[in-house]
Amino acid sequence: MNVLTDNWALYGKGLLGTVELTVYASLLALALGFVMASFRVAPVGSLRVFGTVWVTVLRNTPLTLLFFAVLLGLPRFGIVLPFQLFAVLALGCYTSAFICEALRSGINTVPAGQGEAARSLGMTFGQTLSLVVLPQAFRSVIPPVGSTLIALAKNSAIAGSFSVTELLGTYKPLNELGYSIVWTFVWIAVGYLIVTLSISAIFNVLEKRWGVPR
């Protein structure tokens, strides 16, 4: 039980590391996912192919393999960055594929008639997109994006094994200090529950505010 009270600093640092990884990787994933989703619905063939390849490959890549390739592979090309940045890169790119699919299916839920109606009212492409299509797509996209980001938070545990400071990695020093390993893991589990439940609480609020009324 006193594992936690004795090691506030260590657990705190681990939790902070996980939260940082999650936030930065989420931002990268949302931005990249948005770009890829717009590629996938673009009227330009080569961009569509690029988006499709990006999504299909990354969705079927084991995340450990991606970490392996990015963290140990990129330095071979002389790209030397802190490990945390590499981890954010790997996590963000991996998750962007799932975000892209969520956004794309959100856009596809908007009936074609909405766009046709907007255009027949004389709206330009930008107006159609920003006033009619995207607001409707945004509503149906909240739940899937939320669960994708929760998955991202859970996946960030892998980074610990590649010498990035995060929550799961704290078990090692604590184990060496001779604390009860079961309690160590109980508090790690509680930490992850805090992170995932907070994300789901945030998205519940968003869903209540802007979600599709059911």
Partner 1 sequence: MTDTALYDIPGPRARRRHLVYGLAATVVILGIVAWVLYLLFDTHQFTAEKWRPFVYEGIQEMLLRGLGNTLKAFAYAAVLSLALGGLLAAGRLSDHRILRWTATLFVEFFRAMPVLVMIFFVFVALKVQPLPALVTGLTLYNGSVLAEVFRSGVNSVDRGQREAAYALGMRKTQAMSHVLVPQALRAMLPAIISQLVVALKDTSLGFLITYEEFLHAGKLIASNLDYGLPFIPVVMIISPIYIGMCMLLSWLATWVAKRQRRSLKTEAVEVAPAEPGTLLPGAGQIHP
**Distances from the Cα of 203 to the Cαs of 81, 136, 196, in angstroms?**
32, 17, 11
Closest-CA residue to 175 (of 162, 188, 191): 188
Tell whether residue 72 is a contact of partner 1 (CB under 8 A): yes
Question: Which residue's CB is nearer to partner 1, number 27 or number 72?
Answer: 72
User: What residues from 182 to 201 belong to the interface with partner 1 (CB under 8 A)?
Assistant: 182, 185, 188-189, 192-193, 196-197
Give the shortest CB-8-to-partner 1 separation in angstroms: 20
> 58-84: b or e for each residue (b if 16 or more CB lie within 10 Å)?
beeeebeebbeebbeeeeeeeeeeeeb
The alpha carbons of the chain give a radius of gyration, in whole angstroms, of 21
Tell me the per-residue interface mask from 124 to 143 with partner 1, x by CB under 8 A, - otherwise: -x--xx--xx----------
Considering the rule CB under 8 A, would residue 157 count as an interface residue with partner 1? yes
> Is 16 among the residues that bind partner 1 (CB under 8 A)?
no
Q: Encoding tokens for residue 10?
A: 């260590």
**157: amino acid identity, one letter:** A
Shortest CB 209 distance to partner 1, Å: 23
Interface pick for partner 1 out of 84, 155, 165, 170 (rule CB under 8 A): 155
- Of 64, 22, 2, nearest to 167 by C-alpha is 22
Q: Is 85 in the site for partner 1 (CB under 8 A)?
A: no
At 62 the three-state DSSP class reads: coil
Q: Assess 60 for contact with partner 1 (CB under 8 A).
A: yes
Residues 6+ apart with CB under 8 A from 147: none
Q: Per rule CB under 8 A, is residue 168 in the interface with partner 1? A: yes
Task: Tell me how many degrees the CA angle 167-170-171 measures, rounded to the nearest 5.
Answer: 115
Query: Contact positions toward partner 1, by CB under 8 A?
Result: 41, 43-47, 50, 56-57, 59-65, 68-69, 72-73, 76-78, 107-108, 110-116, 119, 125, 128-129, 132-133, 154-158, 160-161, 168, 171, 175, 181-182, 185, 188-189, 192-193, 196-197
